Amino acid sequence: MNGFFGHQYELYPFQIFSAYHVIVLIVFLFVCLCIVKFRESLKKSERVIKIAMFIGLFLLESLYHIWLYAGEQWDMTFALPFHLCSISLLLCLVLLVTDSKHIFQFVYFLGLAGAVQAIVTPELFVGFPHFRFFQFFITHMLIIWVALFYVCIKRYVVTKRGMWEAFTFLNLSAILAYLANVVTGGNYMFLARKPSNPSLLDYLGPYPFYILVLEGIAFILFFILYLPWIKREGKK
């Protein structure tokens, strides 16, 4: 148990696209397909699914901070909720409680754009079968599954206005993350430097130019996520 929750990271090295990472990606895609394919059947268990996703996100995030604190590893440089996926997670919790169509727009754009990248190229230093490995991937997958749940089962609609509001919210969050980096010396939203693990940011140029590239990529990703809804909103 000490090993599972321990902080001897060298005992559980993470390797991107290892067998365990690939299995995670397969499970993630399989569940996504199930949500889409069985959306009508799942609608009958809508309340149970919402409760399960809320408990899963809240419990895993709480255990993460408890794990850090118990091991005397909790630090303001990385544990505050200023990472994109941390913000998306909090938005998911609010959405699952309120069913707000406004919050849904933020979860759809920020959650899908951020969590997919995190799952494919994670900034993760602990591998299978450590607690952090499971906590990291399950929480990021849940963020995406929450968005899919509201699209496929709750039948929420993505709008152009929602895209622009989400993009504005992203930039406001980035300003707060930058200020947090100045105060704590952290690297929230990777606005201070690139992650040490291999990631897509490695191909976007040196600091600080990659931040400008990220801004453009974020808008392109948001627009791509909006594309499936253009015709539907035009008819409306």
Give the count of beta carbons closer than 10 Å to the beta carbon of residue 70: 12
Question: What is the Cα–Cα distance from 40 to 131, expressed in whole angstroms?
Answer: 34
Residue 198: predicted pLDDT: 65
Closest among 144, 185, 108, 131 to 34, alpha carbons compared:
144
Greatest CA separation for the chain:
58
- Residues (pLDDT < 50) of the chain are none
Task: Rounding to the nearest 10 degrees, give the CA dihedral for residues 7, 9, 11, 12.
Answer: 110
Instruction: Give pLDDT tens digits for 167-187.
Output: 999 999 999 999 999 999 999
Question: What is the Cα–Cα distance from 95 to 146, expressed in whole angstroms?
Answer: 9
Residue 202: predicted pLDDT: 77
To 5 degrees, how large is the angle CA 35–CA 144–CA 220?
A: 120
Residue 82: predicted pLDDT: 95
Residue 205: predicted pLDDT: 84
Those residues with Cβ within 8 angstroms of residue 127's Cβ, 6 or more apart along the chain or in another chain: 12, 13, 14, 15, 18, 20, 133
pTM given for the model: 0.92
Residue 10: predicted pLDDT: 86
Residue 148: predicted pLDDT: 97
To 5 degrees, how large is the angle CA 135–CA 136–CA 141?
A: 100
User: Is 119 in contact with 28 (CB distance < 8 Å)?
Assistant: yes
